[in-house]
Amino acid sequence: MKKLFVSMGLAAASVASVQLTQAADGSDGANGVDSKSWSVSATLRGFYDDNYNTAPSGSQKKGSWGFEVSPQVSASVPLRQTDLGIRYVYGLYYYQERDQEGVNPIDQSHDVDLWVDHAFTESWHARVDDSLIVSQEPQLSQGNNSGTYQRTKQDSINNTGSVTLTTDWTQELSTELGYQNGLYLYGNDAASLGGPSNGATLSALLDRQEHNAHFNLDWIVSPHTTYFVGYRFGWLDYSGNGNINTLANPVYSKTRDNRNHTGYVGADVDLLANLRFEGQAGIQYFDYYNSATTTSSSESEVDPYADVSLTYTYLPGSYLQLGFTEKQIATDVAGVNGNGQVTQGEQASTIYGSINQKITSKLTGSLIGSYQYGTFSKGQSNGEVDNFYGLGVNLTYAFNRHFSAEVGYNYDDLNSNIADRGYSRNRVYLGVTAAY
């Protein structure tokens, strides 16, 4: 399944670097052939961010000019039955306003991806992936699994590793067995977020491990059509060991632990030669086994689940993607009601889309947008709503295979029923990229 575009600015700004690097390393999208197994690139951008603290409107909202430096290196090693790969992206962000206020003006990010693809036989295939992100942008380190929209002034660490074994039993029948582990860590400073979680630390609210194991049974109708049925077991283990209810009696991170079960059906279908559908939908059951309150020993919840996307390639180098997800995600909101019941999570319905248009042989435009409707579950914030909007626009001009220039605009808006939580953020940037 295609991943949700959770960070509009980073996704839109990355288009130029990715396309130019592909051109520079001689990759051929039509034939899937690379003339060399490594590539390097570097991007320099100047920007203006009118709300770099993602603060509500008022005295806390501050804007700043700045610049970003982002080198990237990647390499792959194709062997007879095994493919190995690594990619590293470094980001340095300088904020002039913070420098003038005498605080650290620099944010940094590190993004490392590793993968191993191995075919034991024609019928047995395994893949191992690992992605490590260290950043001060929660949307970067949380992917599409968090309702944390605010920027944090401390490092957040996310490591996601997975292993998948695919077995073709017959021409029509195959299975997929997989496991994924997600590790999320934050600093221990006060979260400085609004609403019921004000005063708690991000570590107490969001430090956790996510364990997910799944099994799919695939029916291959044709090379262009596959139907499947699957089951996933998940275990969410909060490890912050902190008090998430600073307003009254202490309530600790472990009360949000849960085991969950998801059953789903799905399909991957080429509806036309240039139109592809990928989707799955089902039901999720959550057991919050540590959520003892004055009225119950534990809690459970049943929610819908969906992850679908449609991709249409209407011209060479031009495509449209639309998608929808429905799932429960982790959240920094932890309102506790009079019975000691805590807000356990956020049920998020998300619509997203992107357009990549090759305007001329050298000029490419992209538009990325998403809308997320999130409803908080349980506790003091039960039924409260977050509306989050994201938009990214980018124009890239490639002078040749090695150099390009870009200009872009990004907009984020969080409209929340919880006081002092919502904000708006505008960012504009101008940059150049060199690749080889």
The pLDDT tens digits of the residues spanning 37-92 come to 999 999 999 999 999 888 887 667 899 999 999 999 999 999 989 999 999 999 99
Report pLDDT digits (tens) over 182-218: 999 987 765 544 333 445 788 888 899 999 999 999 9
Give the tens place of pLDDT for each residue, 156-167: 899 999 999 999
Rg of the chain over Cα atoms, rounded to whole angstroms, equals 22
Whether the Cβ atoms of residue 263 and residue 283 lie closer than 8 Å to each other: yes
CA dihedral 359, 32, 368, 321 (to 10 degrees): 100
Q: pLDDT tier at 340 (50, 70, 90 boundaries)?
A: confident
Query: Structure tokens of 242?
Result: 């902190």
Average pLDDT over residues 331-346: 82
In a domain, 278, yes or no: yes
256 found inside a domain:
yes
The total number of structural domains that make up the chain: 1
* pLDDT of 375: 93
Q: Tell me the β-bridge partners of 269.
A: 225, 277
Within a domain: residue 321?
yes
Q: Is the pLDDT of residue 181 over 80?
A: yes
Relative to beta strand 363-377, strand 318-329 is: unpaired
Given phi > 0 = left and psi -120 to 50 = alpha, else beta, which region is 401? alpha
Strands 156-168 and 173-186: antiparallel
Helix (H) or strand (E) run with residue 175 in it:
strand 173-186
Q: Which of 325, 417, 340, 332 is nearest to 378 (CA)?
A: 340
Q: Would you say residue 1 lies in a domain?
A: no
Instruction: Kindly state the tokens that stand for 55.
Output: 């603060």
Please list the helix, strand and coil fractions of the chain in percent, rounded to the nearest 5, in that order. 10, 60, 30
CATH number, domain containing residue 250? 2.40.160
Q: Which residue has the higher pLDDT, 244 or 395?
A: 395
- 3 domain-assigned: no
158 in any annotated domain: yes
In a domain, 314, yes or no: yes
Q: How far apart are CA 319 and CA 426, in angstroms?
A: 26
Predicted confidence band at 28 (pLDDT cuts at 50, 70, 90)?
very low
Q: State pLDDT tens for residues 388-431.
A: 999 999 999 999 999 999 999 999 999 999 888 889 999 999 99
pTM for this prediction: 0.85
Task: Give residue 304's domain range.
Answer: 8-435
